[in-house]
Chain A
Amino acid sequence: MVTHADPIASKDNRRVVATSGAAGSRLRRVPVHVVVLGITAIWSIPLLGLVVSSFRPSWAVLSSGWWESVTLPGDYTLANYGRVLGRDGMALSLFNSLAIVVPATLLTVVVGAAAAYGLASMRFRFRGGVLLLIVALIIVPVQITFVPLLRAFNALDLTGSFLGLWIVHLGYAVPFAVYLLHNFFAAIPRELFEAAEIDGASRSQTFFAVVLPVARPALASLAIFEFVWTWNDLLIALIFLGGFREVAPMTIAVSQLVASRGNGWEILTSAAVLSVIVPMIVFLALQRHFVRGLLAGVAKG
């Protein structure tokens, strides 16, 4: 079981060992600092450039690098954001993303939780088979389903609709959802389920009143994981929403901005920042849950 979900936590005792020592060993540690600082720079500079550029006026972006704005008298502006949001459909896309992601995530959590409970607490025929099918399908390339699903969705008039996208996202996410929650439920003592049933509670009562409250951390992990993952998806939205601009999520809107040349970097960077804000807030506010989900879903595989 994973107990430490904090990615920033460290082992203090090891640090003591590592930092004690004479000046000679300090010199030998120079390469360590070079490597760590180098990686920090490579990973932080792109983000810094993105944010800084998104606040620079277009003439400045054209004529000088973003880092020069620190020394040049900074006339930063919010105008880029105004222009991006004023563009047809950009603000709408932000809400399209929400309208896609929130129901899809909820659907995944609900369907996944019910199945994980059934698989973890009941013994029945084909139980092993269902579990193996689900584990095998976690990493299936979603591309393998596109052609038949697209045909079926065209016939059912589901392409270009939010309902269609919720359904495919559910399908693609269920294996991971069941797997993650099953690992969690399997670790709950079975007595907990049985005690409730002895008290006369039906299975569904046990599920809602006992299991779901206990599983809240695991449900949160899954929900955050799915939220960020679905929000960031481009390919599935491209395939199943087609070219319908009025339902396009942020990822499609931003990629269309990139494709239609003639947009300055100040526009592209502020659009990118806008597309990143929501998942970033969710991610940072609930990162412990996210990391726990990541570890439970991947590390046990």
Chain B
Amino acid sequence: MIGDRIVLMTLAAGVILAVAYGYLRVGDRVLAGLPHAWHRRLAPWLFVGPATATVVLLLAVPAAFTVGWSFFDADGEQFKGLANYAHLISDGVTRIALRNTVLWVVLLPSFAVLVGLTVAVLAERVRYGALVKITLFLPIAISAVAAGVIWSFMYGYQPPGAAQTGTLNAVVTLIPSVGPIAWIIDEATNNYALIGATLWTQAGFAMVIFGAALRSLPDELLEAARLDGTSEWQAFRHITLPFLRPTIVVVATTMTVIALKAFDIVYVMTNGNYGTDVLSTVMYRALFTAKDNGLAGAVATLLMITVIPIMIFNVRQFRRNSREA
């Protein structure tokens, strides 16, 4: 079986490269045989066509279908109007998921900006700056599944009196008269615990982006401020922070999208139990447990609507950049 996989992988890689090469070379030659006007008109599509077709067939068209089906019943046969949406708002489970998704969208971007910015700024001021950067950087490569295992282990809970093998509870119980906390079961803590685990994997992203932005901050600005006797904090507050505002927006929107799509870590750590559902886990169950395509479509549409402002922002930003270029 393992041998099969290696063969498949190698074969697929070879076929992809050969087909891509053949398609472009032969396509080019075929187009060259056409009248000039046709050649000019079609040649770009030889290159752009496959990607455009992929995006239309795998993203745009399915998205349109999903939105359409969200007004139909479970099998997509009977029109139900807004019934699926009404169900979403009235249903206790989805209400909790909505509340939690809002919690994710508020907390994850805030803390990612806070931690990423703090490390990017302060690491320049201590001799072991490279060390803290690497420790934040490593988890970027770790899957949410592995992070789920890592943090379930960190949050490990044993009844009071037993040896606490979970790191966090071992620390907490050092405080006199404080008992262990069931971090991922207790509804007072579990959503924060999941968001914290996600923050652990994402803060490095924020740090890298802030680090690059800081490196483009003109030194003269800060030097001048220091010569004027401005304190470090004031220089940060009045020079660095305004300079970084566009970067903060970029990091915050990226993290917002990640928070909206959050699924893996919830699936692994709680599977949505104990009041930790988010929109994605609700959709997953609607799709596979309830087998209700209409309801699943409504949840997905809701997710889609929430990212539309960010989409518009990105498109505007892109148009502005290309006009400047």
Binding site for B on A (CB under 8 A): 2, 4, 7-11, 13-15, 17-19, 29, 32-33, 35-37, 39-40, 42-47, 49-50, 53, 61-67, 91-92, 95-96, 98-99, 102-103, 106-107, 110-112, 114-115, 117-119, 122, 124-125, 127, 130-152, 162, 166-168, 170-172, 174-175, 177-178, 186, 202-205, 207-208, 228, 231-235, 238-239, 246, 250-251, 254-255, 258-259, 265, 268-269, 271-272, 275-276, 279-280, 282-284, 287, 291, 294-295, 298-301
| B21 CB contacts on chain A under 8 angstroms | 208
B34-59: which have CB < 8 Å to A?
41, 43-48, 50-52, 54-55, 57-59
Q: How far, in angstroms, from A146 to B151 measured CA to CA in the complex? A: 29
User: Given A35-B122, A106-B17, A174-B58, list of 20 further CB < 8 A pairs?
Assistant: A8-B134, A14-B125, A36-B132, A66-B167, A92-B2, A103-B16, A111-B50, A112-B51, A114-B20, A114-B48, A132-B315, A137-B55, A140-B63, A143-B300, A148-B69, A174-B51, A233-B143, A272-B150, A279-B143, A299-B212
24 sampled A-B residue pairs with Cβ under 8 A: A10-B123, A11-B215, A15-B129, A29-B125, A36-B129, A49-B167, A91-B2, A103-B16, A106-B12, A110-B17, A115-B51, A118-B46, A119-B48, A127-B44, A130-B52, A131-B318, A137-B60, A147-B296, A148-B65, A234-B268, A272-B145, A298-B205, A299-B209, A301-B314
Residue B90 at the A interface, CB < 8 A? Answer: no
Could you mark each residue 131-152 of chain B with 1 if its beta carbon is under 8 Å from any beta carbon of chain A, else 0?
1111111111111111011111
Residue B32 at the A interface, CB < 8 A? Answer: yes
- Contacting residue for A43 out of B166, B200, B226, CB 8 A: B200
Could you mark each residue 263-287 of chain B with 1 if its beta carbon is under 8 Å from any beta carbon of chain A, else 0?
1100110010000000010011001
Smallest CB gap from A9: residue in B = B215
Q: How far, in angstroms, from A279 to B133 measured CA to CA in the complex? A: 19
- Contacting residue for A139 out of B139, B150, B297, B307, CB 8 A: B307
Residue B9 at the A interface, CB < 8 A? Answer: yes
| B280 CB contacts on chain A under 8 angstroms | 143, 235
| B112 CB contacts on chain A under 8 angstroms | none
- Contacting residue for B153 out of A32, A36, A151, A268, CB 8 A: A268
* B314 and A115 contacting across the interface, CB-CB below 8 Å: no
A13-B219, A139-B314, A146-B287 given; A7·B143 CB < 8 A: no
Question: How many residue pairs at the A-B interface have CB separations less than 8 Å?
Answer: 397
* B311 and A136 contacting across the interface, CB-CB below 8 Å: yes
Smallest CB gap from B47: residue in A = A118
* B267 and A234 contacting across the interface, CB-CB below 8 Å: yes
Number of B interface residues, CB 8 Å? Answer: 133
A32-B125, A39-B118 given; A279·B268 CB < 8 A: no
A39-B119, A139-B314, A234-B145 given; A148·B247 CB < 8 A: no
Majority-rule SS of A interface residues: helix
| B126 CB contacts on chain A under 8 angstroms | 32-33, 36
Q: How far, in angstroms, from A36 to B134 measured CA to CA in the complex? A: 12
Residue B78 at the A interface, CB < 8 A? Answer: no
| A140 CB contacts on chain B under 8 angstroms | 59, 63, 304, 307, 311
Q: How far, in angstroms, from A276 to B138 measured CA to CA in the complex? A: 11
Q: How far, in angstroms, from A123 to B213 measured CA to CA in the complex? A: 33
- Contacting residue for B146 out of A45, A152, A275, CB 8 A: A275
Binding site for A on B (CB under 8 A): 1-2, 5-6, 8-9, 12-13, 16-17, 20-21, 24-25, 27-29, 32, 41, 43-48, 50-52, 54-55, 57-63, 65-67, 69, 115, 118-119, 122-146, 148-154, 156, 163-167, 170, 200, 203, 205, 207-209, 211-215, 219, 222, 226, 232, 247, 250, 253-254, 257, 260-261, 263-264, 267-268, 271, 280, 283-284, 287, 293, 296-297, 299-301, 303-304, 307, 310-311, 314-315, 317-319, 321-322, 325
- Contacting residue for A207 out of B9, B47, B211, B314, CB 8 A: B47
| A2 CB contacts on chain B under 8 angstroms | 212
| A148 CB contacts on chain B under 8 angstroms | 61-62, 65-66, 69
